[in-house]
Structure 1
Amino acid sequence: MTENLTGTKPGWNFDNSYARLPEAFYSLVDPSPVRAPKLAVFNEPLAASLGLDATVLQSEEGTAELAGNRVPEGAEPLAQAYAGHQFGYFTMLGDGRAILLGEQLTPQGERMDIQLKGAGITPYSRRGDGRAALGPMLREYIISEAMHGLGIPTTRSLAVVDSGQTIIREEMQPGAVLTRVAASHLRVGTFQYAAARGEQDDLRALADYALQRHYPEATNTENRYLALLQEVIGRQAALIAQWMLVGFIHGVMNTDNMALSGETIDYGPCAFMDRYDPATVFSSIDTGGRYAYGNQPSIAAWNLARFAESLLPLLHEDEEEAVRVAEEALAGFSEAYERHWIAGMRAKLGLFGEEAEDPALIGDLLKLMHQHRADYTNTFRALTFETLEGEPLFGTPAFAEWQKRWQARRGRQAESPDASRERMKRSNPAVIPRNHRVEEALEAAVREGDYSVMHRLLAVLACPYAHTTEQADYAALPPESPRPYRTYCGT
């Protein structure tokens, strides 16, 4: 903790446009103070990009703001209202443990939400305590920053504050407050909430706000609400493809966890896949595999259909025509997703251009990887450097036959082998946040107060495409375990 800097300001530059929406979309509420806030981890590069003074924010006064013990100048704290389909069942929800301080206008002209997660009870807490545990908040910090390093759109973590008090989950756990930074917290569930209330003026105000905030270029189109739907579909198609290309499993793809900005949001029971298997599930609550790795594209399409349903009154005054327009737009998701995914897979294999056999070449490799329980990340890393060892897959006749086809495909392109390898290096990370490494970092931080393990992990994950010798230890698989790895929501 740095010294107190009384009279020095952290650089907040709030302009809170969400608070100017109809009051039905939020409740004004201040964060609840915590007993003994102590800064656990702080993101200095992110603070700088937001135009904030990292030194001031790490002082006692700054920590008080990040803990919710003091409201920053210019903030208008509120909890957002929204609904959502949770595991397929519709529920009226809202920020039960998160409070939006406001929107920071950055030196680059961006507008970013500053939200405190674990900041206390709100009108939407539904008998919860409004608090968050230290472990899950540190997990969100690690995974969200890893996603940023991978170049995948994501909310980010500015800080985690140890609250100095315990909370009750399955056991007594140390509490924490996470400062989350997002392009916005507008969700599919926000629109479901507006539609369920049946106030069309409010729905229109929300849609106009979403357009202005995220898709201003679409506001002057002939049907701006159809343009909003199409833009969200396009961004989600690109996002989900990026998840799939690195083996990321969100774990809880409820409609309230799908952001209109196209960012990855809400890192609860998320994890990265080791051995390739489309049926992989890590979340302890996803007993039916609804949100398994291989189901993520279809679930995204399902969620987007719920978004389209919410927009129907705005798409056309005639209901049948509105449905037709919506269905036509939704039909474009699968094509857009497939286009992004196959382009990404071509890059992972060092392929330029397009050939008709490419989908079969890609599909056959994935089948072999599944059959031989090959590690997803390390297989593509081995192909990148042609160090074909460490995976049983590489010694099989079936792989040798596939390799001949792959080499023949690369041989037909004009680009050099060096250009192909560079393309692969930029597309295949050397490291991901391996589950056992994340748990190792969390164990040291939460149980022992040792954050050095977490900081080393974060340093490696910040440059996943560097392919340095220092990253080798972090690429290793965990020891075999008789029990599958499980993650937990933390609520």
Structure 2
Amino acid sequence: MKVHFPFDNSYTALPAHFFARVAPTPVQAPRLIKLNTVLAEQLGLDPDWLASAEGVEVLAGKRVPDGADPIAMAYAGHQFGHFVAQLGDGRAILLGEVIDRNGIRRDVQLKGSGPTPFSRRGDGRAALGPVLREYIVSEAMYALGIPTTRSLAAVTSGEQVQRETMLPGAVLTRVASSHIRVGTFQFFAARQDIDALKHLADHVINRHYPDLAKAEHPYRALLDAVITRQAELVARWLHVGFIHGVMNTDNCSIAGETIDYGPCAFMDEYNPATVYSSIDEMGRYAYANQPRIALWNLTRFAETLLPLIDSDEKAAIDIAQNSLGAFTDIFNDAYQSGLRKKIGLFTAQPDDDALVQDLLALMTANQADFTNTFRRLGTAAVDPEDDGDVRAEFTDPAAFDGWAVQWRQRLSRESQDGATRAKAMNAVNPAFIPRNHRIEAAIQAALANDFAPFEELVSVLAKPYEDQPQMAEYGSPPAPDERVLRTFCGT
């Protein structure tokens, strides 16, 4: 029996210096942890084939399927503001591309599949914990409705990897609209390879923004399109309390998807200065800094496109600056629109942003849980007598009361009834997020060969906007002894 992937590869048709051809390194004894059967079917793959012994060998990199053209992609990047001219896929290998049932081209990539020419003395492997974290968080983001790479499968390798200690190895099969990053453009810009930049930009337009091919100025239009997607993406991160943790330019997708879940985390108590990443010692990628960093990354992207935008450098810079100048308005429109929905507003009025920001300030001062405060606000929107649950989120419950008076005055200017408003609020305010302590508990159980907590957590997070009363404990913030204050990259 053969595991069939209907590959239709396009990136490998680009010039040879865009990538290195390299096969995955076989592993000893792969075992399936989790197969995303719904995603497999969307990709036109047979889940039964993938779950077979041969299929698991493909998912582990032990067997290369027919039609695959395995490569490690070349890219550069700014890491915490410092430019590195060559990074590339050091522990990931792109098997190939498939066209899904909706006609959308998807990359199928193995993470943790062995060393590549870009590994920089690394072993190219992944430990079980980071693989489970990416599976959990990426699929949760998808269920939350946020553009993201996805997880097709997780397998153990039957081998140990050396980190601080010896850990069980694993491989993640990741699916993305593409793995092209700002850093991919930087790789060629740093080498002043204008032909390669044009090849890459044309490929991106054809793959992700085909309507731009007929634009009068396609490369400026490309810059505008990427700016819009990134601005809207980061706004959606903030709406659910997500912190990427390592927003380097090599982790910034040209397709506008959330990519590379390393030390990522969701806030419990709301605080705009929140940082979880163990490597972000200065708070560069703190929750509230993410819009600013997105613009910084997009500015680096614009720099790479200057030779394509206009042959006159000054003219190109003026055009790029004009495009970048639109970021703040695009982000603010998306951010404020989402916040209005979170507090149950259907229309926009001038004082709405101040109203929401006042709530956020009170939440910070009173250590209110971000997710639960907004979720319970939906119940309070139906009847003022039901304020108890949301008031309980504040260390000083009376702090909520003054704000609630202003809020209800604002709600009175709209025509929707409480039930309609609550339903709309519950559709944007999740009951469940991948809380750090739940992820850590699932990982620790898996390290003891118990995958039941992982399975249950993935199941709960697949329906984040449903109450799921029998799983209510998954919506609770951590007890003091459960708090996870630092997350790790896992490389």
User: Normalized against structure 1, the TM-score is what?
Assistant: 0.97
Aligned to 2:162: 168
Match of residue 292, structure 1, among 278, 286, 297? 286
| 2:51 is the counterpart of 1:58 | yes
Partner of 2:383: none
Question: Do the aligned partners of 2:436 and 2:484 also contact (CA within 8 Å) in 1?
Answer: no
**Residue aligning to 1:278:** 272
Structure 1 position 109, deviation (Å): 1.3
Q: Which residue of 1 aligns with 2:444?
A: 443
Are residues 68 and 392 of structure 1, via their aligned partners in 2, closer, same or farther at CA, if it must alter by over 3 Å? closer
CA contact (8 A) 1:32 1:121 kept: yes
**Displacement after TM superposition at 1:116 (Å):** 0.5
Find the aligned partners of 2:22 and 2:483 in 1 and give their Cα distance: 43
CA contact (8 A) 1:394 1:400 kept: no
Structure 1 CA distance for aligned equivalents of residues 57 and 221 of structure 2: 42
Note if 1:415 corresponds to 2:416.
Answer: yes
1:79 Cα deviation from its structure 2 partner: 0.3
CA distance in 1, matches of 2:398, 2:26: 63
Code of the residue aligned with 2:468 in structure 1: it is T
2:283 and 2:350 mapped to 1: Cα distance? 33
SS of 1:227's partner is helix
CA distance in 2 between partners of 1:67 and 1:484 (Å):
30
- Cα distance in 2, alignment partners of residues 253 and 384 from structure 1: 32
Matches within 5 A, 1:127-146: 127-146=121-140
Q: How many residues align?
A: 483
Aligned residue for 2:303, secondary structure, equals helix
Task: Return the offset for 1:481.
Answer: 4.2
Q: Paired residue for 1:43?
A: 36
Render the CA deviation track for 1:280-309: whole Å, top value 9, x for unaligned: 111111111000001000000000000000
2:400 paired with 1:391: no
Is the 1:431–1:471 contact (alpha carbons within 8 Å) kept by the matching residues of 2? no
| 1:3 aligned residue | none
Note the C-alpha offset of 1:430. 0.4
Match of 1:226 among 217, 220, 223: 220
Q: 1:107: how far off? A: 2.5
Among 306, 310, 316, which residue is 1:312 paired with? 306
In the alignment, which residue of structure 1 is the partner of 2:480?
480
Matched, 1:429 2:448: no
Secondary structure of 1:393 counterpart: coil
> What is the CA distance between 1:11 and its match in structure 2?
3.5
Tell me whether 1:30 sits opposite 2:23 in the alignment.
Answer: yes
- Counterpart check, 1:248 vs 2:253: no
d(CA) in 2 for partners of 1:424, 1:394: 24
- For residues 121-147 of structure 1, the C-alpha deviation after alignment (integer angstroms, 9 at most, x for no partner) is 111000111111011001100000100
RMSD: 1.2
Change (3 A) 1:339 1:125: same
Report the counterpart of residue 155 of structure 1 in structure 2.
149
Distance in 2 of aligned mates of 1:194 and 1:146: 34
Distance 1:125 1:461, change over 3 A: same
Could you list the per-position Cα deviations for residues 20-61 of structure 1 after superposition, in whole angstroms to 9, with x for gaps in the alignment? Answer: 111111011111101111111111111111110101111111
Name the aligned partner's letter for residue 357 of structure 2: G
Matched, 1:239 2:205: no
Determine helix, strand or coil for the equivalent of 1:130.
coil
Partners of 2:265 and 2:10 in 1: how far apart? 34
Per-residue CA deviations over 1:47-85 (Å, capped at 9, x if unaligned) read 111110101111111011111111111000000000000
Aligned position for 1:122: 116
Give 2:364's aligned residue.
370
What is residue 454 of structure 1 aligned with on the other side? 454
Structure 1, gaps ≥5 residues long: 1-5
After TM superposition, give the deviation of residue 482 of structure 1 in Å: 9.8
Q: Report the CA distance between 1:391 and its aligned residue.
A: 3.0
Closer/same/farther in 2, CA of residues 30 and 442 from structure 1, 3 Å limit: same
Q: Provide the rounded CA distance (Å) in 1 between the counterparts of 2:468 and 2:52.
A: 35
Superposition deviation, residue 471 in structure 1: 3.4
The counterpart of 1:72, out of the listed 44, 65, 74, is 65
Correspondent of 1:204 among 191, 198, 222: 198
SS at match of 2:263: coil
Shift of 1:397: 3.9
Q: Which amino acid aligns with 1:286?
A: D
Structure 2: which amino acid aligns with 1:415?
Q
Percent same amino acid at aligned positions? 55
Q: Partners of 1:112 and 1:172 in 2: how far apart?
A: 34
Moved more, 147-156 or 10-19: 10-19
Q: Secondary structure at 2:415's aligned position in 1?
A: coil
Aligned to 1:103: 97
Q: Distance in 2 between matches of 1:392 and 1:66?
A: 44
CA distance in 2, matches of 1:19, 1:285: 34
Aligned counterparts of 1:428 and 1:482: Cα–Cα separation in 2: 24
Q: Is the 8 A contact 2:366 2:396 kept in 1?
A: no
SS of the aligned residue for 2:214 comes to: coil
- What is the DSSP-based 3-state SS (H/G/I as helix, E as strand, rest coil) of the residue aligned with 2:157? strand
Partners of 1:116 and 1:220 in 2: CA distance:
35
SS state at 1:427 partner: coil
Amino acid in structure 1 at the alignment position of 2:73: Q
Q: 1:470 deviation in Å?
A: 2.3
What is the identity, as a one-letter code, of the residue corresponding to 1:401?
A: G
Partners of 1:35 and 1:189 in 2: CA distance: 34
1:465/1:482 CA distance change after superposition, 3 Å:
closer
Cα deviation, residue 395, structure 1: 4.9
Distance 1:248 1:347 in 2: 18
Rounded Cα–Cα distance in structure 2 between residues aligned with 1:182 and 1:484: 29
Question: TM-score, normalised on structure 2?
Answer: 0.97
Conserved 8 A contact 2:138-2:261: yes
- Give the whole-Å Cα distance in 2 for the aligned partners of 1:10 and 1:35: 19
**Would the aligned equivalents of 1:375 and 1:391 in 2 still touch at CA under 8 Å?**
no
Q: Please give the per-residue CA displacement for 1:188-218, whole angstroms capped at 9, x wherever unaligned.
A: 0000001111111111000000000000001
Opposite residue 460 of structure 1, the aligned amino acid is V
Matches within 5 A, 1:332-411: 332-386=326-380, 387=386, 388-389=388-389, 391=392, 393=394, 395-411=396-412
